[in-house]
A and B are shown apart, each in its own frame.
Chain A
Amino acid sequence: MAVYKKTYRPYEGELTPSRSRFLVVTRYAFEDLHRSRFLNIFYLASFLYPLVCALIIYVQHNVSALGLLGVEGANRLISINVTFFLSLLGWQSMLALFMAAFVGPSQISPDLANNALALYLARPFSRLEYVLGKLSVLVILLSLMTWVPGLLLFALEGYEEGWSWMSQNARLASGLFLGAWIWIVVLALLALALSAWVKWKPAAGGLMFGVFFVAAAFGAAVNNVERTHWGHLFNVSYLIGSIWVALFEGANKTTNGAIFFRSPQGEELPLWCCWMVLAALGLVCLYMLTRKIRGTEVVR
């Protein structure tokens, strides 16, 4: 008979490829998020609007369905145009803000609360990989909420309408894609920076909303007092809206931005200003992250 003793064995096996190791962080974060029933439900609920849109597109092109609705002949119930897609983007992006505010705070602060980051970085794992891993969590979640359904709907409409429609309206697709990405990057960086700096999770979530609504209110106040439009620079939703309008329509503006992301005509600011402010915001967030994410603190 053999008796086995529990002992330490060295590891002689294979290692996982170094380049994709940051995804370990992402995978664990998703496993943790999955445990929250609220988040699961919220996430599923966020697909309602795209689903309704898909139905609308389907109904538009399905004569028998139209007949059912009793509106023969009027085959343009709702026009599938810029406004349609901008509304989709706007609505989903607002939901994305909520998602980031729920998910963001719990990404980095638990690792900093008890100094676990020192252990992360004591492994063949760099700060960049850590941030990339955490960013991926938000990027994947928010992408699936915004441009992925958007592009799918675009493809659906294109399938119904034909290739010429698609090439004519290619701007819609690129606008959806790029517009969503800009919003995702801003949200993700902001969420992570707040998570790294603010320990109490509800406070971090609240600050996410604060950055948008409070700053917007401040901008509106500036506008009123100074009788100018430059206060809009504080209003991130305005900035995003302006950029979206530019992406979707170029020079011929017909819309006022998207729902929640209003960019009223007549109150425009130069586009490069909008880009600058957003870039500055992103850089500030990156700086905040680099300050907090280190292996060890040096106290002078």
Chain B
Amino acid sequence: MEPVIELDGLEVRFGGRPILKNLTASLTGRSIGLLGPNGAGKSTLLNTLLGFHAPSGGTARVFGRDIRTHAREVRGLIGYMPENDAFIAEMSGVRFVRLMAELAGLPRGHALERAHEAFFYVGLGEVRYRALGTYSLGMKQAAKLAQAIAHGPKLLFLDEPTNGLDPPARTRMIQLIQEIRDRGDLRLMLSSHLLRDVEECCDEVLILKDGHIAAFCNLAEERRSNRRFLELETRGENNGNFLAAIERLGCQTAAGAQGRLKLVLPEGLEVSRLYEIASEQNVQIRRLSHKRDSLEDIFLKAMETADGRL
């Protein structure tokens, strides 16, 4: 796939202090996660790609356009959903999104049409004529998403999109993001502290630490290589015997969280064998899943690396 963002030795300093140090990577996924501890430079990276900060060394390209020379064009291709509140309290939702779309270059008529469409798409159709100052937190988040997509960008920057949302609103936001990712014509860069959000929505993950790239991996490939790791939850009188039996088959076991069992299947052993044993011993297998925490492990390992370099 055509690379979305190419970082080429990108360096950014604030008053002499280096914030981003020599970042080099080529990001090609449909949806890219951006992770890292506070102060690692995630916001700075997004702001630099948007042109708010000038790089002090190196450069970066968005869809092939250099951010140093074609900053304006780059901004026209990007839709930005910031982490903080960003709205004009007295304007109605539609008017605000219309203004933003016109500033991105859309003619009046099209901007108005697309503002309404964007509101319906994010689920705010009912409240689009109300003043933004009266919106609840979840609505403001959705309105931010609406203004980011109204002008039809090719790349979306989402900074903590589920911040402060209650569970049903979070689910809906994640679903929207997944829908956008699955379309294929609108790429995403998602920066978040919630590993689960990133795991559910992103194909590739870029982990920053102290201004360096600590890790860059492809989640789909990671999941494929985790077929051998299982987590089991059982109930029955013979749990101990069950454990002994599967260990005899060659599985390595360990106790997991919430009383579950983690095990590694040796080559050649299929899950059906486990069921046979369970059936013999009258043990219920209540839960069976392949390892889910791949991203958490990757993240923790990245943080441990001595100076955070790839």
Contacts and interface: CB of A to CB of B under 8 A. Distances in A.
B107 A113 contact: no
Nearest to A298: B14
B160 to A, nearest CB: 14
Interface in B150-190: 151-152, 154, 180, 183, 185-186
Interface string B107-134: 1001000100110110000000000000
Contacts of B82: 115, 118-119, 122
Interface in A2-33: 6-16, 18, 21, 24-25, 28, 32
B154 to A, nearest CB: 8
How many chain A residues sit at the interface, stated as a range, is 35 or more
B50 interface: yes
B114 A113 contact: no
Contacts of B180: 8
Given A10-B186, A114-B85, A124-B76, 7 more contacts: A6-B121, A8-B118, A8-B186, A111-B88, A118-B82, A118-B84, A296-B53
Contacts of A28: 95, 99
How many chain B residues sit at the interface, stated as a range, is 35 or more
A13 B102 CA distance: 13
Contacts of A275: none
- By Cβ-Cβ distance, the 8 closest A-B pairs, closest first, are A11-B152, A15-B105, A295-B52, A122-B80, A124-B76, A124-B72, A123-B104, A115-B86
A116 interface: yes
Contact of A10 (B86, B104, B152): B152
A260 interface: no
Contacts of B47: 295-296
Given A11-B151, A24-B99, A110 B89 contact: yes
A294 B52 CA distance: 8
21 contacts: A6-B120, A7-B121, A8-B117, A8-B121, A8-B180, A8-B186, A10-B186, A11-B106, A12-B152, A14-B107, A110-B88, A116-B88, A116-B96, A122-B50, A122-B80, A123-B103, A123-B151, A124-B105, A125-B75, A126-B72, A295-B47
Given A115-B86, A123-B75, A16 B120 contact: no
A120 interface: yes
B87 A18 contact: no
Contact of A121 (B52, B84, B90): B52
A37 interface: no
A300 interface: yes
Contacts of A110: 88-90
A114 B132 CA distance: 10
Given A24-B99, A114-B88, A300-B14, A18 B147 contact: no
